[in-house]
A and B are shown apart, each in its own frame.
Chain A
Amino acid sequence: MQEEPIPQQVQENIEQVNSADLVVGVLSELNQEGLVMMCDALRTLSGSPRIAVLQDDHAADPLVTSPETAEKSASPYVVPWPLLRPDISSTPVVSMSAAYQSVFAAAEKFGAQACCVIASKFETAAAGWACQLAQPLLEEDLDLVVLHYARHKFEGLLNSSVISPLMRCLYGKRIRNPMGPDLGVSRRLFQKMLEIERSARVGGNLQSLVSLAPAALCNNLQVCEVYVGARIYPPTDWMNISSLVAQVLSPIFVDMERNAACWQRMRASVPVPAIGEPVLVSRDVGSVDISRMVESFQLGIRDLQEIWGLVLPPSTLFELRKLSRLPVEQFRMPDELWVRIVYDFALAHRLRTINRDHLLKSMTPLYLAWVASYAHDLETAGAEATEQRLERLFVAFESGKPYLVSRWRWPDRFNP
């Protein structure tokens, strides 16, 4: 059962604040110093908006301000808020989505014009991100602001390999980080999300983190990107990589099903307006070891073919078998093959060909094969070559869209 977005014990806090123009939800762990820096940056916003910063009430080092002092010093009012609840029954994506929904509910209660969510691990350079997210929302009447992080070539791989290209080809807008996690949302959009959430409570769970960008794009709302520096990515837990793949891809595929009528109409993609200049990062990591990932794929080919055979067409299986015979030095997975794999798994997820958790977890060796191939391609490449490589992948996703549409519409008839 889902909890109410605003629990009873925080109603008092809402009454104290009365109203705010901007609500900033801080989901990441932030110490007092960081919070002060962020509040200082927010104070520079033009028009002196009233700002409420929601800080998790379980924060180790909470900053407490009263509405009166905040009013006098024209600084944001920090509200302790039960944002993140440790819930062992739900996945990180689900609990993050619940936290986003909680911020939206608070923003609606405060009658805010916009809200921002900061979920990345905090570092000094990120102190201004909330301000950068809020500015376009308050000044330019935009609906969704996402950050375009300067990224090292081997970071955010799940986003680069599936999430970003899939969103781009489905919804026709080139957004590099459609799942944020740091986002700015207008009143129009968060109200829409709350509406969808209320109706989804009957039919199934809505995951705001995943559904936000599709909801904005399907409703023709204005989206923009803001170029910022690098964000800190959590280290890889190789033992749980399959759970991670399943947790991230499952809500994306569910959302794809929900928005099928919308994305089937979209054709070629266009870039979204961007603020600032791209920040390129090229940190040389030397040679990378891909043998572990290739080994995982070869093991998958040996033992998981029976499962993949239910999902992938024979031509794809044949290509995969050929790939498994290549030595590590020549290991290359063609983008077209990867694109078809993603589309076929999305379709199998929709058709419930096999148990959904099994399906997505069995995709892990294939994902690792793509990562190995990508790492092989970019071992010595710089930032520019990385961008070109990713662009090739994105174009392959777009070129493969007719295949997806055909299989989606006629899964039994169209099976090459």
Chain B
Amino acid sequence: MWEHIKQALVESTTRFLTRSANLLPGLAALIVALLISVILGYILAAVVRRLLASMHFDQRLTRWGFPSLAEWSPMKSPTLLVSRAVAASVIFAGFLIGIAAFDAEWTSLFARIVFAYIPNVLGAALVLLVGSIIARFLARSVLIGAVNLNLHYARLLSVGVRWLVVVLAVAMALEQLRIAARIVELAFGILFGGIVFALALAVGLGSKDLVTKSLERDAQKASSEKTEEPFRHV
């Protein structure tokens, strides 16, 4: 009896030790991959930081219309944010490669899934970036145009246009990430329609006075003698 128990214990210990020993090369590979990726990430981050600093990236970003990015950047420096993001991506990639080295079925599968998802993440990030650039550009165009037309609700129009584009971009990014596609579609429809409706109401109510004034002006013009505008610009 005792012999049986002893044999079972020895077998299980041997199995445990064998499995642990099998894991060791993978663990070593993970550590090496992590070390290499940390060093690589550090070097890449330093290069990116220098490159962006020489380009005056922080100042340019403010000029391009993204001053808010500085507020949620470490030490209020978007350069630092970008360089740290680069380092983190490299380390994460190194970690995934290291995990794949375990040669266990589930780790390989996990790494494959994560790697396959990266293009979606990059696509979503690109959509968000382009969307925010377009939103900023259109918002400025609308704001300047509306101010030059003497519209008192210029800012409201500009903010409305910006949010329309941002909401569209976020919905597209979520679609790209394949996150709750149906809910996103529904939410986007409601939000987009809501913004358009709110804008239409605001402009409609705001322009009520404008139309009245315009009609009054026309009526005055018709009744009174036509006065010539003395200003000539070119």
Chain A residues proximal to chain B, CB less than 8 Å: 152, 154-159, 233-236, 239, 241-242, 244, 248, 285, 288, 292, 295-296, 299-300, 302-304, 307, 310, 353-355, 358, 361-362, 364-365, 371, 375
Is there contact, CB below 8 Å, between B233 and A358?
A: no
Our pick among B137, B141, B232 for the contact of A233 (Cβ within 8 Å) is: B232
Is there contact, CB below 8 Å, between A236 and B231?
A: yes
Q: How far is the CA of A361 from the CA of B229 in the complex (A)?
A: 22
- Interface of chain A: mostly helix, strand, loop or mixed: helix
Residues of A within 8 A of B154 (CB): 299, 303
Q: How far is the CA of A18 from the CA of B19 in the complex (A)?
A: 100
Is there contact, CB below 8 Å, between A371 and B231?
A: yes
Chain B residues proximal to chain A, CB less than 8 Å: 62-63, 65, 137, 140-141, 143-150, 152, 154-155, 158, 229-234
Query: In angstroms, how far is the closest chain A Cβ from the Cβ of B127?
Result: 22
Residues of A within 8 A of B147 (CB): 296, 299-300, 303-304, 362, 365
Is there contact, CB below 8 Å, between B150 and A299?
A: yes
Is there contact, CB below 8 Å, between B141 and A248?
A: no
Residues of A within 8 A of B149 (CB): 239
Is there contact, CB below 8 Å, between A353 and B63?
A: yes
Query: In angstroms, how far is the closest chain B Cβ from the Cβ of A295?
Result: 6
Query: In angstroms, how far is the closest chain A Cβ from the Cβ of B60?
Result: 10
Is there contact, CB below 8 Å, between A354 and B65?
A: yes
Query: In angstroms, how far is the closest chain A Cβ from the Cβ of B151?
Result: 8
Q: How far is the CA of A307 from the CA of B154 in the complex (A)?
A: 14
Query: In angstroms, how far is the closest chain B Cβ from the Cβ of A189?
Result: 23
Residues of B within 8 A of A362 (CB): 144, 147
Q: How far is the CA of A208 from the CA of B177 in the complex (A)?
A: 53
Can you identify 17 A-B contacts, CB atoms within 8 angstroms?
A: A154-B232, A155-B232, A157-B232, A234-B232, A235-B232, A236-B229, A242-B144, A242-B148, A248-B234, A295-B150, A296-B148, A307-B140, A307-B143, A310-B63, A358-B141, A362-B147, A371-B231
Residues of B within 8 A of A371 (CB): 231
Residues of A within 8 A of B150 (CB): 292, 295-296, 299
